[in-house]
A = this chain, B = another copy of it.
Amino acid sequence: MHTQTHQARTKTYHHGDLHNSLILKGLEMLNDRGLSAISLREIARNIGVGHNAPYRHFKNKQQLLEAIASMGFRRLKAYNLRLELEYANDPETQLFESAMHLINMANDEPNLFNLMFGGNVSLFDCGDELKKESQASMQSFIKILSQGQKQDVFNQDNLICQTLATMSLIYGFAMMTSSGMLQEIPKTPDQMRGFTLQVFDILLTGLKKT
């Protein structure tokens, strides 16, 4: 069901692609039931494999969660890469669409978003894979803002500070709209987009005026 390679195989003693199946089924169950409701054993059960099989692919439960989070970061990176090509000379649009995508993700897959950014996997004490992927996020923002500075779309203030302000606002806004901290936020995608645009405008003013 999850991957073609898996489905194509006949039922054998060996699963064939358990590593990826665990990540995908884990993500599916994470989105459905939330972090506190999923267990390694149930994921294994849902895949149809013994409760110890996952330990051949992940040292422990935490490492599977890290792998799921890594996949989330990789998805973000892939989307940002598309934006980079689609709006090659328009850093402002790149920034906004990237923000919009993160906000949509926070609202469509809040449990994945919280896993990635809510401290449930430590970005300090985690495997190299997740470390690399999470820090690549920042690089992509630096890249966009740097391009914006070169094109004089943004002012020439400290690049790192601009990056931090931008990411902070985007991640914070995503968190707030998905966390339930706000009562009055409109819920249709169009309204959300309009709202985000207004909030984003305040940041842009700060990035532009010198």
Query: Hey, which bits of chain A sit against chain B, CB under 8 A?
Result: 35-36, 110-111, 113-114, 117-120, 122-124, 134-135, 137-138, 157-158, 160-162, 164-165, 167-173, 175-176, 178-184, 195, 198-199, 201-207, 209
Contacts and interface: CB of A to CB of B under 8 A. Distances in A.
Contacts of A137: 181
Given A110-B119, A119-B114, A164 B173 contact: yes
A164 B176 contact: yes
B172 A134 contact: no
A161 B198 contact: yes
Contact of A123 (B122, B135, B181, B205): B181
Interface of A is mostly: helix
Given A134-B180, A161-B202, A168-B169, 18 more contacts: A35-B119, A35-B120, A111-B119, A114-B119, A123-B180, A124-B180, A135-B181, A138-B181, A158-B198, A162-B202, A164-B176, A167-B172, A168-B168, A168-B172, A170-B172, A201-B206, A202-B207, A204-B206
B114 A118 contact: yes
Report, nearest first, the 9 A-B pairs whose CB atoms are least far apart: A172-B172, A118-B118, A114-B119, A168-B172, A123-B180, A202-B206, A168-B173, A206-B206, A124-B180
Given A168-B168, A209-B209, A117 B203 contact: no
Contact of A157 (B35, B119, B202): B202
A158 B120 CA distance: 35
A175 B111 CA distance: 17
Contact of A171 (B134, B172, B203): B172
Contacts of A198: 158, 161
Contacts of A119: 35, 110-111, 113-114, 118, 178-179
A184 B161 CA distance: 12
Contact of A183 (B135, B162, B201): B135
22 contacts: A35-B120, A36-B120, A114-B119, A117-B175, A117-B179, A118-B119, A119-B179, A120-B120, A137-B181, A138-B182, A158-B198, A161-B195, A162-B202, A165-B199, A168-B171, A168-B172, A169-B203, A172-B173, A202-B203, A204-B206, A205-B206, A209-B209
